[in-house]
Amino acid sequence: MPIAIAAALAFGQQPASAQGLFDMLFGGGLRHNPQGEFPPPPRKLQPGTGGGARISSPTYNIYRADKLVRVDFKSLLPVPQPATAQDAAFVPSVTSNTFRDAVAGLSDYELFAEPDIAKALIAYYSANPDFIWLTDSALNGRAQDAVRVLGEAASYGLTPADYTVDVPAATTSATPEERTKEMIRFEMALSARVLRYAHDAQSGRVDPNRMTGYYDFPAKPLDLEGVLKTLAHTQEVRTYLESRHPQNPEYQALRVELESLEASEENEIVVDPKLLLKPGESSPELPKLLTLIARNLDDEMGGDYGETLARLGKSEIYDPELVPVIKAVQQRAGMKGDGVIGPRTVASLAGTSKADKIEKVRVALEELRWLPSDLGSPRVFINQPAFTASYIDNGEEKLKTRAVIGKVTNQTAFFYNQIKQVDYHPYWGVPQSIIVNEMLPRLRSDPGYLDRAGYEVADSSGRRIPSAAVDWGAYGSKIPFSVRQQPSEANALGELKILFPNKHAIYMHDTPQKSFFERDMRALSHGCIRLQDPRGMAAAVLGTSVDYVAEKLKHGHSTENVTRVIPVYVAYFTAWPDMSGKVEYFDDVYDRDSKLMQALDATEAVRAPST
């Protein structure tokens, strides 16, 4: 959701400019609030006015994975029936008879699986009493392919132990009865683990919506019985199981990166992550940083700065000649390129260890399994940790612009939707959370300030009423009025917004606070996505030109529907490949990676005792 009044929510602005904007919008008389938010509520409130009521943001939950259940094989066991003349005439197939005979070996078998998988196993084998993985009491080609695929789970960032199955030895001294029992148990165990693998590959190992209200993903149903039916009638087991994974270039690039990282050596050059160095200053850490830069030079950078680095690469003094080199490195990493060597510059070159990178890639692979396998084209992709928004069409990034996302206390959700509309010179419907948490304290002592500041107040029937006529002190967290800001230069949404209706009231929009885009850390809004180039993004999603958008803006408030299907991903990836496939790493702004790792650990802990 967007920021409130441009001045009133000017996070981090200098006191003088914030105060000036407060005066402009509210008619003066406001004392400066150090946090740059709405003024605090009066010290004394009338009893029963609900002065302490707030609308809280979503929280993060301790993840609890579904407990495994013991598969109940009773319904598969044969029930003795009196012989009849009709039975005597029926001669079952050898395979079917062998399976029915073998099922008795499941009577005391303890196999644990997820509840839906346990149910699917019984349903499938009740309707299809035959082996999938065995032929003539031996592992067939399907079984061998399935075991190999399960054993390669780590290449997808999965945990191989989750899919382990004890494979019967080819030769054994066991009796025929013991061998039959061993084989039927292998049949059931492999089916259970194959189903787990297919589910995890398609949907991920954890349910993200259980982790926090900031995650919002539709279910990705998987017909588990259908999976077994397919596998029973195909020899292309590997092809089928691998097809359950996301089939997009980003997923493949992350897999390649994971393989490369695991085969690489730990970076032997370690730079102080707290290094702060300005031109003219010196530090023994500088040569280390310059060595890393020189090691990763491409043809373009090498042609521009190779000679400078060769000549000054051992210097501990930050010579002015090195400033263009550092600026170029910073700009390539998405920073503003100020030439000051600080923690973010160090982190982009040497601040992420091999272990940290591997964890980020594994997290990214899991998160990508929550999204559609085909991300669509064209699409809009917003990566919150990178503070960027891109328009991608036919495998080409046609537009990439800096973005501002929600601050840590007002985090942007992680979800996907579809672009629907562009609003020119939009109204801003103030979210209830901002009305209650930020405006209400001021309104109790100054009920008319919304009238003066260019806001409209309406009751539940949509009838406009003066802000001054409302007894704001009578309300707590539930306010039966809507508030919207009229289009203006000071409107919090700027000159346009791009809508993709969702329950989080998040959209992309312009902003009057252009200076925020000059910062490297841009988690500064109330949750909505502010764009540095909103006209470019509007033109892209409308399939038109920036000149067209500029002309529309000359004619005041209007709306225009987006007629094409354009998915938008409001995503959160601390490891993500660029269009060439090179994986870039970003700070975990909201500390979500660690929360996902906790959920994955909880899932592994539940699965660990399974047999």
Residue 456, phi-psi category: left (phi > 0), alpha (psi -120 to 50), beta (remainder)? beta
Indicate whether 325 and 467 sit together in one domain. no
| C-alpha distances out from residue 592 to 48, 241, 390, Å | 38, 29, 22
Indicate whether 423 and 478 sit together in one domain. yes
3-state class (DSSP) for residue 569? strand
Indicate whether 252 and 292 sit together in one domain. no
Examine residue 277 and state whether it is found in any structural domain, yes or no.
no
pLDDT of 228-276, one tens digit each?
999 999 999 999 999 999 999 999 999 999 999 999 876 667 788 888 9
476-491 per-residue burial string, b: 16 or more CB within 10 A, e: under 16: bbebebbbbbebeebb
Indicate whether 242 and 161 sit together in one domain. yes
The parent domain of residue 292 ranges over 286-351
* Higher-scoring residue by pLDDT: 34, 285: 285
pLDDT of 51-109, one tens digit each?
557 778 889 999 999 999 999 999 998 766 555 544 444 333 334 468 888 999 999 99
Indicate whether 395 and 544 sit together in one domain. yes
For the ranges 22-31, 173-182, 446-455, 582-591, the lowest mean pLDDT is seen at 22-31
Indicate whether 127 and 199 sit together in one domain. yes
Examine residue 372 and state whether it is found in any structural domain, yes or no.
no
Indicate whether 149 and 296 sit together in one domain. no
Examine residue 57 and state whether it is found in any structural domain, yes or no.
no
Whether pLDDT at 9 is above 60: no
Examine residue 439 and state whether it is found in any structural domain, yes or no.
yes
Indicate whether 498 and 445 sit together in one domain. yes
pLDDT of 465-514, one tens digit each?
999 989 998 888 888 999 998 888 888 899 999 999 999 999 999 999 99
Whether pLDDT at 434 is above 70: yes
For 590, residues 6+ apart whose C-beta sits below 8 A from its C-beta are 214, 384, 408, 411, 523, 572
Mean pLDDT of the chain: 86
Considering just the CA atoms, what is the radius of gyration of the chain in Å? 30
Q: What is the DSSP code string of 367-413? A: HHTTS-SS--SSEEEEEGGGTEEEEEETTEEEEEEEEEEE-GGGPPP
**Bridge partners, 282 (sequence order):** 317
Residue 574's domain is classified under what CATH number? 2.40.440.10
Examine residue 577 and state whether it is found in any structural domain, yes or no.
yes
Domain count, the chain: 3
Residue 442, phi-psi category: left (phi > 0), alpha (psi -120 to 50), beta (remainder)? alpha
Question: So what's the pLDDT on residue 251?
Answer: 98
For the ranges 159-168, 341-350, 474-483, the lowest mean pLDDT is seen at 341-350
pLDDT of 517-545, one tens digit each?
999 899 999 899 999 999 999 999 999 99
Indicate whether 439 and 523 sit together in one domain. yes
Examine residue 499 and state whether it is found in any structural domain, yes or no.
yes
Indicate whether 251 and 294 sit together in one domain. no
Examine residue 185 and state whether it is found in any structural domain, yes or no.
yes
Question: So what's the pLDDT on residue 7?
Answer: 32
pTM for the full model? 0.81
Examine residue 603 and state whether it is found in any structural domain, yes or no.
no
Indicate whether 309 and 404 sit together in one domain. no
pLDDT of 212-238, one tens digit each?
999 999 999 999 999 999 999 999 999
Indicate whether 232 and 323 sit together in one domain. no
567-585 per-residue burial string, b: 16 or more CB within 10 A, e: under 16: bbbbbbbbbbbeeeeebbb
